[in-house]
Amino acid sequence: MEGRSDLAQRFHQSFAEIAAIGRAAAGGYKRWAWTPEDRAARAWFEHRAAAAGLDVEVDRNGNQWAWWGAPGTGAVATGSHLDTVASGGAFDGALGIVSSLVAVEELRLRGLELKRPVAVVNFWEEEGARFGIPTAGSGLMTGHVDPVTARGRRAHDGAALGDELEAFGIDPSGLGADPERTSGISCYVELHVEQGRNLVHEQAALGVGTGVWGHGRWRLDLHGEANHAGTTRMGDRRDPMAVLAAAIVAARREAIAAGAVATIGRVEVEPNVANAIPDLVTVWLDARAEEDARVDDVVERWWTAVQSEAAANGVEAKLSEQSRSAPVAFDAGLRTTIQGVLEARGGRAVPLPSPAGHDAAEMSAVCPAAMLFVRNPTGVSHNPAEHAETQDCVTGVEALAAVLEELACR
């Protein structure tokens, strides 16, 4: 119990440190890529990794790597991300980074002998909150994200990604697939807070990911005509907000019909004043399903409904795909290994599919990948109410340490 107490203390201290970065006065977190908050989080990662005896480097795509042992063939990688959505929770991403660092530190403190090097990686912009590129750091490294497209992206405030990278000392011309690095990784295991309540219902602290649903984001531009809210007759209006209303209803309707999920969570309105009909409404649709065909079906039917409503209101509608990720099934052999490790320790291995995207899905393109999930009693994520009990978190760290020991030391 003394060892567990010490591990729990190290976890609590590390999590408290990162939880102090990017916290908003009104609650929640905003650690967006290549911002002062991100700089502080990256500095914390470097400091915490060094304190654990790990050597830190930054790859050509801006991801941070903390190594136990010299980088080389057959490396076992673990980690997650430190960025958040706006007003996000404390656990999404950060729990995986803290758990990975503490787990590797635990193995080092036990004096275990490495047979394969171990790396903890902090991928940037997993959420896609600032530049609209989900899993940007891992996707660039694995070749899924086009570097030309990435360099041209701009943030909400107009900042160009290339300029922001340069401010952090990263050459934007170096973005792109990194086969030299990925070929040296034998497997990747990511620990993450559950973003639902399946483990609560299963009365289990931990779950093993089976895969990730297909996911896409689309931008819809609705061009109408700005005009006076009081003097313009209803029949004379070219109001993009009327089309927006129909688009929101259609997204819900088509997702339910297809057994999928669809969300319009971001809207920008110009000129965005109370006494004027808008000229332009920009909308982002997020659609996800277990199979790609369902995602395609939702978007196709939704787009048809939007075009019909736009035509009826004299509004021009333009749709563009912003990102797309295919469904991923995690490696069966690695899942079996993790399940065996958990069961050998007397734990349960509850299988969980994930409708949420993760860096592990990107990594599955270049090596066997798998995930561990820690119970979230609220079932809430991307929200300050996101939570995991310390006891469950410590159980997750212990499980991850056992998995890494099996993969890297045996």
Kindly tell me if the per-residue pLDDT of 241 is higher than 70: yes
Give the per-residue pLDDT at 156: 84
Mean pLDDT computed over every residue of the chain: 96
User: Rounded to whole angstroms, how far apart are CA atoms 252 and 145?
Assistant: 28
Rounded to the nearest 10 degrees, the angle between the axes of helix 94-109 and helix 36-51 is 10
Please determine, looking at this structure, whether the domain spanning 214-325 carries the CATH number 3.30.70.360: yes
User: Rounded to whole angstroms, how far apart are CA atoms 55 and 101?
Assistant: 12
Tokens 């567990």 map to which residue?
4
User: Rounded to whole angstroms, how far apart are CA atoms 275 and 298?
Assistant: 34
* Residue ranges, CATH 3.40.630.10, the chain: 2-212+327-409
Q: Domain 2-212+327-409 has what CATH class?
A: alpha beta
pLDDT 10s digits, 38-68: 999 999 999 999 999 999 999 999 999 999 9
* Residue ranges, CATH 3.30.70.360, the chain: 214-325
Give the per-residue pLDDT at 1: 39
Sequence-separated (6 or more) residues with CB below 8 Å from residue 298: 251, 254, 255, 258, 260, 262, 287, 289
- Do 219 and 284 contact (CB within 8 A), yes or no? yes
The helix (H) or strand (E) run that includes residue 1 is none
Provide the percentage of residues in the chain whose pLDDT is more than 90: 95
Interval 11-17 mean pLDDT: 97
* Encoded tokens for 8: 């729990």
What is the residue type of 378?
T
Q: How does DSSP classify residue 331?
A: P
